[in-house]
Amino acid sequence: FWELAIPSPWSAVTQIADRLPGLMDCPDFLSQEEKDFVESIRQRFSEELTSREAEGKAYLCFFGSVAVARILGAVEGNVDKAHEWFQTLLRTLSDPKTEALVQDVLQRVADCKSEKRDGSILPHYDTVKAFFNVQLC
């Protein structure tokens, strides 16, 4: 049974956005290796990231420093694999259907009135609830 905490990626909710690091911020708790990797992603994919930022699609949950640093850990420190993984993420998120899903989830979270959000507001929750305990921060 996995527990998945998803940080809020929209800045319209200021009380949450104020707690989150900005897209370009690297928190002190990241290791130097992670910070270097985040910087390598920013340099290698600067055009795509700049474009996403201009379009309002540079979601912190995908492109924030902590999210990007976690990619390196997921591939056991292999920078080449991490770059491939990130490129696949960009390709996946460029699909209009994926973008529509992201926007749907962001709207559901924004519409949620309670302080504590859980995964029941997400699409397909009934299908995945046996496998993940999703808590939205």
C-alpha–C-alpha distance, residues 46 and 40, integer Å? 9
50-59, 66-75, 116-125: range with lowest mean pLDDT: 116-125
pTM of the model: 0.67
- Using CA atoms, how far apart are residues 11 and 111, in angstroms rounded to an integer? 14
pLDDT over threshold 60, residue 10: no
Distance between alpha carbon 59 and the CA centroid of its chain, in Å? Answer: 6
Which pLDDT band, with edges at 50, 70 and 90, does 20 fall under?
very low
